[in-house]
Amino acid sequence: MKVVAKRPESLMDKPTHYCPGCTHGITHRLVAEVMDEMGIREKTVGVAPVGCAVLAYEYFDCDFQQAAHGRAPAVATGIKRVLPDNFVFTYQGDGDLASIGTAEIVHAAMRGENITTIFINNAIYGMTGGQMAPTTMIGQKTTTSPYGRDSKSAGNPIRVVEMLSTLEGSAYLARVGLFNNKEIKKAKKAIRKAFETQKEGKGFSLVELLSTCPTNWGMNPNEALDWVKSNMVPYYPLGEYRTPEGGDNK
């Protein structure tokens, strides 16, 4: 019998705590597959955020550090400076990275810190129960924007990849969406490219994944996937924003 699908070795054999229809599971798998394919599991140290992925260290079969809210890029910097030959990645959500950890991500990119960041943008705080994130769409209802996000009071959503693309230290920046199989394949390619960038010592790499949060969005999983495509993608254009070779393919 031929095996056509199996759990990547870089993932533990245990069920996750993520809600049904949440795309965290897909992203975990994509990262693990890339680790397997590159044969780097035993040399990888992950950094978990505060947020839904706080327990990421339970699911990946590699060494992990859990960081304070927003500080994963600083923690990763400390690790990478001690272990320059290891692979170090952070896995962060939008509250963690784009709100409380803005300084840390910008400066890690500015330094060209040779780490990889997996950035989950689902336009909301998940773990704490659906509050407004800096990436929340205009008009989107959350527990702290019950009448919809109003740009007059809460500003407009942050486009993280575009912001970081002004920094010379950013070697690889891409935004992908997890709303259909084709895009998921592209997402994996981007993650692979980010880790390859680190392997070659080119500098900071980040992949922003437009993701779902059906529970806090109040949708079923399919509606949530459609919402990513129809509401988020127009505001957060997909593509590569910086590559080590230069130029962008968006």
Partner 1 sequence: MTDKILMKGNEAIAEAAIKAGCRFFFGYPITPQNELPAYMARRLPMEDGVFLQAESEVAAINMVYGAAGAGARVMTSSSSPGISLKQEGISYMAGSELPGVIVNIIRGGPGLGGIQPAQSDYLQATKGGGHGDYRLLVLAPQSVQEAVDLTTEAFELADKYRNPVMILGDGMIGQMMEPVEFGEEISPEDLPKKEWATVGNKDRKPNIINSLSLQAEKLEELNIRLQKKYEKMKEEEVRVETYKTEDADYAIVAFGSMARIALSAIERAREEGVKIGLIRPISLFPYPDQVVGKVAEQVKFMLTVEMSCGQMVEDVRLAANGRCPVYFYGRSGGVVPTSQEIYEKIMELVRGEKE
Q: Find the shortest distance in angstroms from Cβ 52 to partner 1.
A: 13
> Nearest to residue 242, comparing CAs of 196, 194, 178, 189?
194
Q: Find the shortest distance in angstroms from Cβ 10 to partner 1.
A: 10
The helix or strand, by DSSP H or E, that contains position 185, with its residue range, turns out to be: helix 181-199
Reading the block at residue 231, the tokens are 């509401």
Contact residues for partner 1 (CB under 8 A)?
A: 41-45, 47-48, 54-55, 57, 60-68, 71, 74-83, 86, 103-104, 106-107
Q: Find the shortest distance in angstroms from Cβ 165 to partner 1.
A: 19
Rounded distance between C-alpha atoms, residue 24 and residue 104, angstroms: 22
Rounded distance between C-alpha atoms, residue 45 and residue 80, angstroms: 9
Rounded distance between C-alpha atoms, residue 167 and residue 141, angstroms: 33
CB-wise, 53 or 232, nearer to partner 1? 53
CB-wise, 26 or 127, nearer to partner 1? 127
Q: Find the shortest distance in angstroms from Cβ 93 to partner 1.
A: 15
CB-wise, 112 or 148, nearer to partner 1? 112
Q: Find the shortest distance in angstroms from Cβ 118 to partner 1.
A: 17
CB 120 within 8 A of CB 213: no
**Backbone angle region of 47, left / alpha / beta, with phi > 0 → left and psi within -120 to 50 → alpha:** beta
